[in-house]
Amino acid sequence: MYRWSLLANSYIYHNNIKKYSVGFSTDLLLTKKYLNLLLLQSFADESNMSNRSQHTIKDIAVALGLSASTVSRALNDHPHISQETKQRVREAVEKLDYRRNALAANLRTSKSNIIGLIVPRISMFFLSSVITAIQNKLHEFGYNLMVCQSNDSQVLEKELVNAMYASRVDGLIVSATLSTEDFSHFDIFSRRNIPLVFFDRIPRNYPAHKIQGDDYQGGYQTTLHLLEQGCRRIAFICGPLTSNLYQDRYAGYQNALKKYAVAVDEQIIFFHELSKGNALKDCDILFAQAPYPDAVFACNDTSAIAVVEHAKAKQIKVPEVLKVAGYSNDPRTQIIDPAITSVEQFPLEVGTQAAALVMDLIQQKTMPGRNFISLTTPVDLVKRTSSGA
Amino acid sequence: MYRWSLLANSYIYHNNIKKYSVGFSTDLLLTKKYLNLLLLQSFADESNMSNRSQHTIKDIAVALGLSASTVSRALNDHPHISQETKQRVREAVEKLDYRRNALAANLRTSKSNIIGLIVPRISMFFLSSVITAIQNKLHEFGYNLMVCQSNDSQVLEKELVNAMYASRVDGLIVSATLSTEDFSHFDIFSRRNIPLVFFDRIPRNYPAHKIQGDDYQGGYQTTLHLLEQGCRRIAFICGPLTSNLYQDRYAGYQNALKKYAVAVDEQIIFFHELSKGNALKDCDILFAQAPYPDAVFACNDTSAIAVVEHAKAKQIKVPEVLKVAGYSNDPRTQIIDPAITSVEQFPLEVGTQAAALVMDLIQQKTMPGRNFISLTTPVDLVKRTSSGA
DNA sequence: ACAGTAACTGCAAACGTTTGCAGAAAAAAC
DNA sequence: GTTTTTTCTGCAAACGTTTGCAGTTACTGT
């Protein structure tokens, strides 16, 4: 094998000399073709048997008597390369099982064809649906997605942002930690003008592109619905007000009450991380003594489900005595009995929009100066049995 | 700024000459320090104001009067570098806001610190839990995860494998498409000796490391449980037998029946993609005419849920008249009424194991010749109301 | 004063692509 | 037959790291 390589090199060198000074005679060409065939064969043999060396563009060039640049261009379908050459390169690639080294290409072009995505948890229904949509959309553009979860930890989030930058992702999509208030670790992306898009949990005062559900409407419509159903004492289980999500939903809740001239009663409003355990504690408080609430509006479905289960355990009839509403339209809300009224957020649309926006930004379609896009996606209240619908 | 750069270069050049021939005088050192300070300042200014150029290791070297190699070593905490130098480098990095270019480093070292993961769907509960576990484990080792979903399409899967290889991931974890029977697109990883681990949906006859739940036991125990509950006509809703999952569960089902000397009745066994729609169709067939089944064992929870809903709609009492069991212990099974008996697969353990295995393989801890590891993780039947427990 | 060792640091060559520029051959225009 | 244009290909320099090797100082012991 090694002999063949050597021969190849010297032959090709000879070739070039000839080429530049005298030109090919027909039988020289024939000889060349024959030799290349042999070469290809032996190269391929090697590639099948050993796993040591991966072939590079240069190997193809040598085997074909071309230069690396020509092979590169052929692979990228550059117009200046003849069809015949392209065909020969394709065949050699096939035979040698050549695989492009994206690392090298990315270094040279300083773009990675990868979009980064950071979410608090991958296993929440809303988020995993968004991810699906993002990935499918990106795939249309030939981009790959690198997903990381911050586990709702600020320090991990920061770490991940840096890792993403180190990998020179071409764009970053983020749903922030609930507690993130300092967004300066994203500065590197803004400064370098790398597309940065927040969705769902977005920063209030940080300049960036943002896509958010219409949480105000979600909170408003749901509360209004409960009011229309006759409820006047609507408990509210809310996430921490550090997050835009809960600020907006809370504002919606308040304004709906105001419309019906119902006073906001802080006694039946809870702010904390939204978990099953916390929701059950809230229920204990709410149903410890009269006056009992006639409805509970929880800001996620896990909490709403907990409320329904508490009610079942305590023989409180839903929806007759207590009406319940959740948020996000998790599949579980349709399965539980009674089915729970919830707010659909259209995760697939959100994901598609986020991905499309990043692609736009990369292709500079969208770039009106330093303006940042702020998109609000609609939500839809899905009325079910739990609210008496 | 440019002036300063030039000055820096020439000064440092001068420096070196001096250094190698005569050595430093004290005030030369002082001058040097002063200059470097100025340099650092101006470099930093530039980095704050403009976003054009990202600083490289070389910039730090120049600013500090060092060579790129020293800076590189300092950053990697190489033992030959003095503490003082490391400290100076750290400060300069801070000041210039230098960010490592992983692309370049990866090219040089030909490892990416990225593990690839290909799954059919990210939004299935089992899979998203596995992903979470994998990512957390990998993070302990300083590795990142690149997640892609094949949407259960073979061609997409193949495409993704190639993309992963192009990015030179250091390892690949895969849950294959339901229909994948030809696994040759994974050859590239085997040949190049890059850790390749299958989990959940694994290839039967393809040599690779495999982690699978104990699907035989899952099928066997569940069927046995239903038999013990008195059922003798147990319908079986199964996925396509191209997949190891369903082969094994089916075998378990059959053997349990055999133990109770119950004949396998093909009339009440269904093989097809497991979706809500298909399960409902099966129900229509099953309950079209007597003899009716006294139990349905569905190979995933979506189908089991569909069965329960069908029964509710048709006023068939579960579990009194019809017992139901599912597979995967999806959160929905605990919420629906009646709660559905299902098989817990311990996704977090599976994910952790998969990640740990890949890390082991990378660090060559595990490599007894050409032996492949085949791990079977235990499952656990969770008995709930739907089966009369 | 000198050899020997230890502690640092620098040189330069990689890693595998892409790409501006220039050059050769072939075709076209004069 | 010469010039111009077109079509194709090669040269060589990047991209930003890492690393074997060699070289320089400083320190140690004699």
State pLDDT tens for residues A288-315.
998 999 999 999 999 999 999 999 999 9
Q: Which positions ≥6 away from B101 have C-beta within 8 Å?
A: A107, A166, A168, B54, B56
Q: How far apart are CA B25 and CA B19, in angstroms?
A: 10
The interface residues of chain A toward chain B in range 40-79, judged by CB-CB distance below 8 A, are 51, 54
H or E element, residue A234: strand A234-238
Residue B294 CB neighbours (<10 A): 17
Inter-chain residue contact B167 with A188, CB threshold 8 Å: no
Q: Chain C: nucleotides under 7 Å from a protein CB?
A: 7-20, 23-26
| Nucleic chain C contacts, protein chain B, residues 130-169, CB cut-off 7 A | none
Confidence of residue A365 (pLDDT cuts 50, 70, 90): low
Strand, coil or helix: A355: helix
**pLDDT at position B31:** 36
Across the interface, whether the CB atoms of B107 and A101 are under 8 A apart is answered: yes
> Is the CB of B313 inside 8 Å of chain A's CB atoms?
no
CA distance A380 to A329: 9
Rounded to the nearest angstrom, the minimum Cα separation between A215 and chain B is 23
The pLDDT of residue B180 is 87
Rounded to an integer, what distance in angstroms lies between the CA atom of residue B336 and that of residue A309? 11
Where b means 16+ CB within 10 Å and e means fewer, A215-234 reads bbbbbbbbbbbbbebebeeb
CA B311 – CA B327 distance, rounded (Å): 18
Task: Considering only residues A158 and A5, tell me which one the structure prediction assigns the higher pLDDT.
Answer: A158
> Confidence band (pLDDT; 50, 70, 90) for A180?
confident
The encoded tokens of residue B322 equal: 């019809």
pLDDT for position A11: 26
- Residues A308 and B308: their CA atoms lie apart, in Å, by 20
What was the pLDDT predicted at A363? Answer: 86
Q: Judge: A128–B128 Cβ closer than 8 Å, yes or no.
A: yes
Q: In A, which residues are within 8 Å of B136 by CB distance?
A: 151
Q: What is the pLDDT of residue B389?
A: 82
Cβ of residue B247 lies below 7 Å from strand D:
no
Cα A239 to Cα A273: distance, rounded to the nearest angstrom: 5
| Structure confidence at residue A1 as a pLDDT band (50, 70, 90) | very low
Give me the residues of B, 368-387, that contact A with CB < 8 A.
none
Q: What pLDDT band is residue A370 in, cutting at 50, 70 and 90?
A: low
The pLDDT tens digits for A313-356 are 999 999 999 999 999 999 999 999 999 999 999 999 999 999 99
Distance of CA B298 to the CA centre of its chain: 26
Rg (CA), chain A: 31
A102-156: per-residue pLDDT in tens?
Answer: 999 999 999 899 999 999 999 899 999 999 999 999 999 999 999 999 999 999 9
Residue A51 reports pLDDT greater than 60: no
H or E segment to which residue B380 belongs: strand B380-382
Q: Which amino acid is at B128?
A: S
Q: Which CATH superfamily is domain B215-345+381-387 in?
A: Response regulator (3.40.50.2300)
Report the pLDDT value the prediction gives residue A53, as an integer from 0 to 100.
60
Confirm if A122 and B128 have CB atoms less than 8 A apart: yes
pLDDT of B38: 46
Question: What pLDDT score was predicted for residue B34?
Answer: 36
pLDDT in tens, A73-109: 999 999 989 999 999 999 999 999 999 999 999 999 9
- Residue A207: partners with Cβ closer than 8 Å, 6 or more residues away: A190, A372
Residue B101 Cβ under 7 A from any strand D atom: yes
CA distance B318 to B294: 10
Give the burial class of B186: count Cβ atoms within 10 A of its Cβ; 0-12 exposed, 13-18 middle, 19 or more buried: buried
Closest nucleotide (CA of A12 to C1')?
D10
Would you state the pLDDT for residue B364? 76
Of B107, B125, B193, the CB nearest to A51: B193
Residue A337 · residue A380 · CB < 8 Å: no
With a pLDDT cut of 70, the percent of chain A lying above it is 85
| Long-range contacts of A33-40, Cβ-Cβ distance < 8 Å, separation of 24 or more | A35/A7, A35/A8, A35/A11, A36/A63, A36/A64, A36/A65, A38/A4, A39/A4, A39/A8, A39/A63, A40/A91, A40/A92, A40/A95, A40/A96
CA distance linking residue A296 with residue B217, whole number of Å: 43
Which residues of chain A make contact with B100, given a CB cutoff of 8 A? Answer: 166
Structure confidence at residue A48 (pLDDT): 43
Q: Report helix, strand or coil for B341.
A: strand
| pLDDT beneath 50: ranges in chain B | 1-52
Is the CB atom of residue A213 positioned under 7 angstroms from any atom of strand D?
A: no
Phi/psi at A294 (nearest 5 deg)?
-100, 0
The whole-number Å distance from A20's CA to D8's C1' is: 14
Whether the beta carbon of A19 falls within 7 A of nucleic chain C: the reply is yes
Secondary structure in 3-state letters for B67-83: CHHHHHHHHCCCCCCCH
Residue B363 is predicted with a pLDDT of 87
Rounded-to-integer distance, Cα B325 and Cα B339, Å: 10
Q: Which residues of B touch A107 (CB under 8 A)?
A: 101, 103-104, 107
DSSP letter string, B246-303 = HHHHHHHHHHHHHHTTPPP-GGGEEES---HHHHHHHHHHHTTSSSPPSEEEESSHHH
* Cβ contact, residue pair A135, B128, below 8 Å: no
Does domain B110-214+348-376 fall under CATH 3.30.1180.10? My reply is: no
pLDDT at position A49 = 39
**Would you state the pLDDT for residue B386?**
97
Residue B275 contacts A, CB cutoff 8 Å? no
Question: What phi, psi does B312 have (nearest 5°)?
Answer: -60, -45
**Residue A50 pLDDT > 70, yes or no?**
no
| Interface residues 118-147 of B with strand D (CB < 7 Å) | none
A107 Cβ nearer than 7 Å to chain C strand: yes
CA dihedral in degrees (B172, B175, B179, B182; nearest 10)?
30
Annotation: CATH topology of A109-213+348-378: Rossmann fold (3.40.50)
Domain ranges of chain B: 2-100, 110-214+348-376, 215-345+381-387
With contacts defined as CB-CB under 8 Å, which chain A residues touch B332?
331-332, 335
Are domains B110-214+348-376 and B215-345+381-387 of this chain identical in fold? Answer: yes
Domain A215-346+381-387 has CATH 3.40.50.2300: yes
Using DSSP bridges, classify how beta strands A196-199 and A171-174 pair: parallel, antiparallel or unpaired: parallel
The answer to whether residue A52 scores a pLDDT higher than 90 is no
In this predicted structure, what is the pLDDT of residue B10?
26
Specify the 3-state DSSP secondary structure of B57: helix
A258-283 pLDDT per residue, tens: 999 999 999 999 999 999 999 999 99
Please state, in angstroms and rounded to a whole number, the distance separating the CA atoms of residues A307 and B378. Answer: 34
Q: Specify the 3-state DSSP secondary structure of A333.
A: helix
Closest residue (Cα, C1') to C6? B80
pLDDT per position as a tens digit, A8-20: 222 222 222 222 2
Give the helix ranges, DSSP H, for A260-346: 276-286, 301-313, 332-335
Beta bridge partners of B271: B238
Scanning residues 164 through 203 of protein chain A, those with a beta carbon under 7 Å from any atom of strand D turn out to be: none
A–B interface: beta-carbon pairs under 8 A = 122
Q: Give the CA A12 to C1' D5 distance in Å.
A: 30
pLDDT at A367: 56
Place of tokens 């030959």: B80
Cβ-nearest to A148 among B121, B145, B163: B145
Residues 6+ apart with CB under 8 A from A164: A116, A118, A146, A148, A172
Cβ of B110 less than 7 A from strand D: no
